[in-house]
Amino acid sequence: MGAAEAVESEHGRESELEQPVDFDFQGILRQIEEDVRPQIGAGQVAAYIPALSCVDPGGFGMAIADLDGKVYGVGDWQQPFSTQSITKVFALALALAQGGDDLWEKVGREPSGNPFNSLVQLEYENGIPRNPFINAGALVVTDRLQTLTGDASSELLEFVRQESGNPDVTFDPEVAASESDNGDRNAALAHFMAAYGNIANPIPALLDHYFWQCSIEMNCSDLALATRFLARHGLRADGTRLLPRRLAKQINAVMMTCGTYDAAGEFAYRVGLPGKSGVGGGIVAVVPGVCTVCVWSPGLDPQGNSVAGIAALDRFTTLTGLSVF
């Protein structure tokens, strides 16, 4: 392989971002909304976070953003909701972009097989979380981002504002306070990892940034647009490169295997796309080289994933054939 080919292989070319097929995304979304109507309202809202306990479980919205930033939506696609763990994708991308992939020395890339807030594996794995999308792993990533930037939550907020094109995206102070008031398990995770030398910053500050990060409110359009850099092989909305192709590929891979808590195998089986869910009811999914998708419906299954959201993404890949498999 010549030098020019090696550079192309690592960084990709803008011409490779062309969408290969022209889909009627608006028509597909209307069909999906009709097909999943019986699942809307199923499941339970995330009542363990008091600020989320009063959300109407009957909400449903879905949006698709193509590579050029055109957005198609249906239902409550412009209704802001609490992004929660979806922000872990953006924190991971920023930590890798600014600090390189030595981050993987502090957090693994394997599915956990346990609930997202479990302490079980940390003890017999010497304080190294299984992956960056369980809470322990996300705390390690936020800790790294705090070291790199000095203000992890503000850095992340500015990033999603820029990528979504929505300067009004902001934190929800009520949700942040609710998470802080009920954050004993996250504090336990952080202290346990600190005992193994896997946390660098003061734990109270780390938890504060983590809770503010999870409180960011966005709608389906915002999230679909903000996640496009993963469909664009690491290129940001303005055409500059956030990540080399290999790191964008890595994030997509970890989303596929770890992005839906301990139900990642079922998500891969039904949907077949890299995805990341949050207990606010949102799920983002990436079709590399084509588009990004965000769906929101706050009724959750026992693993913390949106019941109607997974059904909608299942229909999306069935109707379009846009699966990685």
Q: In angstroms, how far is CA 286 from the centroid of its own chain?
A: 10
Residue of 45, 261, 284, 306 with catalytic role: 261
pLDDT per residue as tens digits for the range 32-58: 999 999 999 999 999 889 999 989 999
Number of other CB atoms surrounding residue 71 within 10 Å: 21
Residue of 55, 72, 82, 85 with catalytic role: 85
279 tagged catalytic: yes
124 tagged catalytic: no
Residue 292: strand, helix, or coil: strand
Short-list 310, 292, 291, 290, CA closest to 300 = 310
Residue of 279, 287, 290, 307 with catalytic role: 279
Residue of 210, 286, 287, 297 with catalytic role: 210
Tokens of 24: 């009627």
249 tagged catalytic: no
Q: In angstroms, how far is CA 113 from the centroid of its own chain?
A: 18
Decide: 164 and 226 in contact? Cβ < 8 Å: yes
Type and span of the H or E element at 285? strand 282-287
Residue of 72, 74, 82, 88 with catalytic role: 88
210 tagged catalytic: yes
pTM of the predicted model over 0.85: yes
Number of other CB atoms surrounding residue 96 within 10 Å: 25
Q: What is the pLDDT along the chain (325 residues), one digit of tens a residue?
A: 333 333 334 444 444 555 556 899 999 999 999 999 999 999 999 988 999 998 999 999 999 999 999 999 999 999 999 999 999 999 999 999 999 989 999 999 998 767 666 777 888 889 999 999 999 999 999 999 999 999 999 999 999 999 999 999 999 999 999 999 999 999 999 999 999 999 999 999 999 999 999 999 999 999 999 999 999 999 999 999 999 999 999 999 999 999 998 899 999 999 999 999 999 999 999 999 999 999 999 999 999 999 999 999 999 999 999 999 9
Distance CA 68, CA 11 (A): 19
Our CA dihedral for 219, 225, 229, 235, rounded to 10 degrees, sits at: -150
pLDDT per residue as tens digits for the range 285-321: 999 999 999 999 999 999 999 999 999 999 999 999 9
72 tagged catalytic: no
Single-letter code of the amino acid located at 54: C
Q: How many helices (H) and strands (E) does the chain have?
A: 14, 7
